[in-house]
Chains A and B, each alone.
Chain A
């Protein structure tokens, strides 16, 4: 059964370029310029899918973005795209499309049995039925319901397509390229402004493309040609303005041609925005108005004039307004027998005269009582006094036009009801926003062009100088007339009269919602699912809102609309994520030594954004194996480790010492030149911010190091203090984290290693004691050696310019090769410091006080420092605070785990416990697992037995609280 055919009439398809495509496994042909929908119609395919809930046969309703029924799944595997709108999908060679929500086939869908159950499947059915009998019953029902209902299905395969994001700017953004948009673009372009014209379609022209007028086509082409010659104009076809945000940010979704990206998301910042988004035709609501072959009247005109696709023999048009007569006349002129069911009683004389001329029969005061046919309509039964049945191939319906106000509402401006055109129009425009054409309810073509021109002039300064606009040579606009008809369904058929085609919402459902007390339009939406889904109610909302207003006895203007939110049409998640996927999700921060580590068998671990050398293959293939050997190397000989990720800050100025004295809890004012000092800084709430060492290079120059994790925060904090609080201090701070690389040379042989590397430098204990600092030039490069130790061994940090860090590292390795020096990684570095009892990022949870960490005594009593006052507030001094302790495993072979919850030996293992393990390692010196932890009351419990519970692995390990300093408590090794 075919209801449509392709005719020879000239249109916008290119008949010299035929292309093949596949639908439900069968091959079809179309032309360049077709949409998927127009090509399917031309091939006689009117049944394209099954409805969401009842699995009713569905065809094509519209010819554009408003389509609610003809959604197809295109592509395959990772490139599968469900819910492709066939009425906007440009026909491409080789495209494969499948119908949705039908099994085993579109023609014979077993779930169509749901139609028989429709009396009980009304709105609210799920909420009422699937609540019980048990509390978790929904979990059982959900997969079954999901399988039985819905739209297209996503696939689990990785999407191989590329998506991009870009940021653009312009003076005037024009959304929509119909008559108003084209006029606005040309006027704006003539001013020399930077103009962007956005069109969702793959051709510019909007309604002109459907007009069939040669004069309008000439005018359209002339405008586009002028725009294409304008150097400051960007013409964006296949581009949807998805949302308008604050400060004139428009988010555009582009489908580019001849580009590596499938989609581009553009964030466009415009000085002014002209919305020429047009209007969407409304369906009429009557029994079986969803049958394949029932379409919007304007869609029939589009298929005729743009794609040369017409109903085979007979068409019925049902309308309550004048616009549908353009379709009726065009069809009749192309040898289609047309009958009009006219809801109104009177019509203008020129319409009647033209209809008579074309042999169109008009039945006034009547609508459609019912549609005959199931998978393809075969006829209609008229309502009213002309209760006749008419055989026809298609039914074109027009319930009036709804301006596309969505974008104007994204900023929060509610639309307002205009009784003259029986539609909502923008409730206003934000500053620097303008509207033109049908969006304003201006449905005449010439009026729209004039409004477009005027909007552009209003948007631009000095618009008087812009050349006057040429209008097309067409007759003046016909006055738009409409008699609102929101519900034309007979009472007995309300359950088959569809308001929202995509969500299977009927008149009965809306009445049901009213009976249940869901009066508000927002409640109506949630209760019935009206206006949800991929079309977001573009065709259904106004009819439904008007019905609810009627039921409530309110004028439609008071019932209001639901809230319009971006995106205007469906966007794929890929287009939103753009290039921020996979390895590109975040940047990687690399040490200057990174390439060396790669070349020398390092395995890496992410530490924040840093990629750090975790362990080296000289020591083992697994971290568990390697770090033990690397620790032994440092404890017994000498190792070298990359510490370039430490935060490094240059603090200079005549007040630098005073500044440091204020930010650290301990004194820095009298730190001698050539010496370093460990310091702790607090936030102003008395909680520990960070720790590290600062070295005095000259009287007015200091070199601060921070933890890797807190480097950025400390830098910001210092800048904040200098810019906001202590503007009187002559201090400048600069991050040197990227400028300087660093390496720790650690172990009892570290001094010998450096002596071999720098034989001309005196680094004896006398010349460079513990916490001493020296600077010298080595082969033209400035080197800074700080005698510091994180590992607890005799150790040095060697810093130099990042560009030369690799060369210096290699030099030290080579010079000390005879000693057996080798690199050690982050795992060993972190384990060595646990043995020594040095806290690090894992132990600092931004809730610790100085006393929690056992560092209270280092704070200066007589000096002021940030956080001093609040450090002594009551809860910071509470005796049972979680404070730093050491933990030793008491079970041979049993592993302690980071994050384990700590309980006293007599506690029930339940709840949050008394603390948790913050860092853990195997101790090569003690031959057991040890850990640092925060424990309620801290070292007051030293010597007590505890349980370390790790519920994820169902482990409970016996342990004991000890001092956090496991080795070399006297610091003899440091001072060696």
Chain B
């Protein structure tokens, strides 16, 4: 097997107070595209709307638009719809801890208040002028899916925003 190389291989690690920022590699991301009916047939249960994630059959589903769903987890045999592997296309950065929301507030014009941005919701937004999907996976835990080619810039923006919490 060829050796996998992360887009953040040369990134400087971050240690912080009340804050953990790290790459969460080794995930499988597949995009499924089709009509509502086709998607349901392929995936079984699907999220009713965008912005809310769904845990189903040990996979996380993120409906990124009405006809496309990202599935994080083992790929599904899905002849009913179109599938496109995208695991390399995104770099996943974890931001978690009591100060995580303050860091995100410096990066994206989204309301990250706990009452507004709860666990199992996500937004498709931008960080440092590049497209990013931010998924709230816990009370103060977030996954940022950054474009691979911009991942280092996004990492630098995230850790720079976290400077006030650095250890």
Give the B-binding residues of A (Cβ under 8 A): 162, 164-169, 194, 259-261, 267, 269, 579, 584, 586-592, 595, 598, 610, 644, 650, 652-653, 732, 734-740, 778-781, 801-808, 811
Q: Are A737 and B149 in contact (CB under 8 A)?
A: yes
For A806, the chain B residues whose CB sits under 8 A away are 3, 5
* Closest chain A residue, CB of each to CB of B151: A590
Total number of A-B contacts with CB less than 8 angstroms?
128
For B1, the chain A residues whose CB sits under 8 A away are 779-781
Q: A164-B106, A261-B164 are in contact. List 15 more A-B contacts (CB 8 A).
A: A164-B161, A166-B105, A168-B105, A194-B113, A587-B154, A589-B149, A592-B88, A650-B84, A732-B34, A732-B82, A734-B33, A739-B88, A779-B1, A802-B149, A807-B5
For B113, the chain A residues whose CB sits under 8 A away are 169, 194
Q: How far apart are the CA atoms of A122 and B150 in the complex, in Å?
A: 58
28 contacts between A and B (CB under 8 A): A167-B105, A167-B108, A261-B164, A579-B157, A584-B157, A584-B160, A587-B128, A587-B130, A587-B154, A590-B149, A590-B153, A592-B7, A592-B149, A598-B10, A652-B33, A732-B33, A734-B86, A737-B149, A738-B149, A739-B85, A739-B86, A739-B89, A780-B2, A802-B7, A802-B88, A802-B149, A806-B3, A807-B5
Query: For the complex, would chain A's binding face be called helix, strand, loop or mixed by DSSP majority?
Result: mixed
**Cβ proximity bits B87-119 to A, threshold 8 Å, 1 near / 0 not:** 111100000000000000110111101001000
Of residues 31 through 70 on chain B, the ones whose CB sits less than 8 Å from some CB of chain A are 31, 33-34, 67-68
Q: Are B87 and A801 in contact (CB under 8 A)?
A: yes
Known: A779-B1, A803-B6. A167 touches B110 (CB 8 A): yes
Chain B: interface residue count, which band?
Answer: 35 or more
Q: Are A166 and B150 in contact (CB under 8 A)?
A: no
Counting chain A CB atoms within 10 Å of each CB, the highest count among B34, B84, B151 belongs to B84
Q: How far apart are the CA atoms of A191 and B152 in the complex, in Å?
A: 43
Of residues 110 through 167 on chain B, the ones whose CB sits less than 8 Å from some CB of chain A are 110-111, 113, 116, 128-130, 147-154, 156-157, 160-161, 163-164
Counting chain B CB atoms within 10 Å of each CB, the highest count among A167, A267, A738, A740 belongs to A738
Q: Are A267 and B109 in contact (CB under 8 A)?
A: yes
Q: Are A579 and B82 in contact (CB under 8 A)?
A: no
Q: Are B89 and A807 in contact (CB under 8 A)?
A: no
* B153 CB contact (under 8 Å) in A164, A194, A587, A736: A587
Report, nearest first, the 5 A-B pairs whose CB atoms are least far apart. A587-B153, A807-B2, A739-B89, A732-B33, A169-B111
* Closest chain B residue, CB of each to CB of A740: B88
Q: Are B109 and A804 in contact (CB under 8 A)?
A: no
Known: A164-B106, A734-B33, A738-B147. A588 touches B152 (CB 8 A): yes
Q: How far apart are the CA atoms of A465 and B135 in the complex, in Å?
A: 36
Q: Are A732 and B163 in contact (CB under 8 A)?
A: no
Question: In this assembly, does B9 line the interface, its C-beta being within 8 Å of a C-beta of chain A?
Answer: yes
Known: A589-B150, A781-B2. A260 touches B111 (CB 8 A): no
Shortest beta-carbon distance from A299 to chain B in Å = 36
Q: Are A804 and B2 in contact (CB under 8 A)?
A: yes
Q: Are A595 and B108 in contact (CB under 8 A)?
A: no
For B109, the chain A residues whose CB sits under 8 A away are 167, 267, 269
For A807, the chain B residues whose CB sits under 8 A away are 2-5
* Closest chain B residue, CB of each to CB of A591: B149
Q: Are A811 and B88 in contact (CB under 8 A)?
A: no
Shortest beta-carbon distance from B14 to chain A in Å = 14
Q: Are B150 and A587 in contact (CB under 8 A)?
A: yes
Q: How far apart are the CA atoms of A802 and B4 in the complex, in Å?
A: 9
* A802 CB contact (under 8 Å) in B3, B82, B89, B130: B89
Q: How far apart are the CA atoms of A453 and B4 in the complex, in Å?
A: 62
Q: How far apart are the CA atoms of A13 and B143 in the complex, in Å?
A: 47
For A167, the chain B residues whose CB sits under 8 A away are 105-106, 108-110
* Closest chain B residue, CB of each to CB of A194: B113
Q: How far apart are the CA atoms of A806 and B5 in the complex, in Å?
A: 7
* Closest chain B residue, CB of each to CB of A802: B88
* A586 CB contact (under 8 Å) in B31, B108, B110, B129: B129
* Closest chain B residue, CB of each to CB of A805: B5
Known: A592-B7, A592-B148, A804-B2. A259 touches B84 (CB 8 A): no
Q: Are B88 and A801 in contact (CB under 8 A)?
A: yes
Shortest beta-carbon distance from B65 to chain A in Å = 10
Q: Are A734 and B149 in contact (CB under 8 A)?
A: no
* Closest chain A residue, CB of each to CB of B105: A166
Q: Are B106 and A169 in contact (CB under 8 A)?
A: no
For A586, the chain B residues whose CB sits under 8 A away are 129
Q: Are B33 and A587 in contact (CB under 8 A)?
A: no
Q: Are B129 and A587 in contact (CB under 8 A)?
A: yes
* B4 CB contact (under 8 Å) in A260, A588, A736, A803: A803
Q: How far apart are the CA atoms of A591 and B152 in the complex, in Å?
A: 11
* A803 CB contact (under 8 Å) in B5, B82, B128: B5
Counting chain A CB atoms within 10 Å of each CB, the highest count among B9, B109, B130 belongs to B109
Known: A169-B116, A588-B153, A811-B2. A738 touches B89 (CB 8 A): yes
For A595, the chain B residues whose CB sits under 8 A away are 5, 9-10
Q: How far apart are the CA atoms of A653 and B89 in the complex, in Å?
A: 21
Q: How far apart are the CA atoms of A465 and B9 in the complex, in Å?
A: 56
Q: How far apart are the CA atoms of A113 and B149 in the complex, in Å?
A: 63
Q: How far apart are the CA atoms of A579 and B90 in the complex, in Å?
A: 24
Q: Are B3 and A734 in contact (CB under 8 A)?
A: no
For B67, the chain A residues whose CB sits under 8 A away are 732
Q: Are B90 and A804 in contact (CB under 8 A)?
A: no
Q: How far apart are the CA atoms of A210 and B86 in the complex, in Å?
A: 63
Shortest beta-carbon distance from B44 to chain A in Å = 20
* Closest chain B residue, CB of each to CB of A782: B85
For B152, the chain A residues whose CB sits under 8 A away are 588, 590
Shortest beta-carbon distance from B3 to chain A in Å = 5
Shortest beta-carbon distance from A607 to chain B in Å = 12
Q: Are A592 and B105 in contact (CB under 8 A)?
A: no
Counting chain B CB atoms within 10 Å of each CB, the highest count among A168, A261, A740, A779 belongs to A168
Q: Are A652 and B2 in contact (CB under 8 A)?
A: no
Q: How far apart are the CA atoms of A811 and B7 in the complex, in Å?
A: 19
Shortest beta-carbon distance from B130 to chain A in Å = 5
